[in-house]
Chain A
Amino acid sequence: MSTMLAIGGAVVVVVLWCLLAAVSGVLGDELKGWIAWATRRLVERAAARTTDPDHARDLRADFEAALQSPDHRPIWLLCQSTFVYRASARTQRGNTRFPAVAFFLRAILGLNLFVLVFYLGFVRGLLVLAALTIIYAWGAILRELSKPPRRQRP
């Protein structure tokens, strides 16, 4: 009986191991595909944000070449694309061309809010405004958290 149990246990372990190997391979390939997609998406957005067309072309070429190379590390590349994306966001914030665009976007947003309050009525309008304020504040908090810590004066 104990021999049968041992053989049965070993068979179950082998079957489970094979199943796990098959599923992990499929899942791993699927995940790699999604990671590559996310990497390309971040690099595209970073390239779109930069005002230097040469740098945008370099970014696309470098990351595409890295993604196509057979020995690339998907997670490492995803991290690098995140860094490039965040750097481009910082550059964009410091760019003098974009405040004018931001001003017009805010003006359009303000107009929309006025229309919203006008049609929804005072209380419901206020509720929507409160919700939007919370969302905006949350975004501002997240942006603040993503900045490096300020240097403390001695």
Chain B
Amino acid sequence: MSSGKEFSPQRMALLAHMLGDPAQQWFALGLAETVGVRSSTVYDALKAWTVKGWIEFGWEDIDPEVEGRPRRKLYRFSSDGAAMARTALDSHQQTLERAIRGQFQPNRPRLA
């Protein structure tokens, strides 16, 4: 059973965007800007997904002296991370569908 925060609409939008191109690398603020969610949500989600092993991170390959800015932390799906994320999303979607079907069943038993 997933918590409400695990598949909030913002996190689902984020995951859907990332699964659109699983080979790509992202940085947190870029994701926030592209998907249109708050940076705090992105940081929370990326941290949770890193703990789950869906994504892994590395550091941007630049010379900070040359670029004049610090390196960004880049996130990408782990080897089987995209598959695990898709499975979790599928499972969540099935739960939602069951709930919707249950909501519209005309002959469901009533409580007392």
A residues with a Cβ closer than 8 A to B are 55, 58-66, 68-69, 76-77, 80-81, 83-84, 86-87
Distance from B11 Cβ to chain A, minimum over Cβ atoms (Å): 14
Proximity string of chain B (62-73) to chain A, C-beta cutoff 8 Å, 1 when within and 0 when not: 000001111111
* A-B CB pair tally, cutoff 8 Å: 47
With A60-B70, A65-B71 as given contacts, are A87 and B28 in contact (CB-CB < 8 Å)?
no
Min CB–CB distance A61 → chain B (angstroms):
4
Choose among B32, B40, B68, B71 the residue with the greatest number of A CB atoms under 10 Å from its CB.
B40
The answer to whether A80 and B32 touch across the interface, beta carbons within 8 angstroms, is yes
* Contact between A68 and B43, CB atoms less than 8 A apart: no
Structural contact, A76 and B27, CB atoms closer than 8 A: no
Partner of A87, one of B27, B40, B72, B73: B40
Q: Which residues of chain A are within 8 angstroms of B28 by Cβ–Cβ distance?
A: 58, 62
For residue B39, CB closer than 8 A to chain A, the reply is yes
Residue pairs across A and B with Cβ atoms less than 8 A apart, 15 shown, are: A58-B28, A58-B43, A61-B70, A62-B27, A62-B73, A63-B29, A64-B70, A65-B27, A66-B29, A68-B69, A80-B38, A83-B38, A83-B40, A84-B43, A86-B40
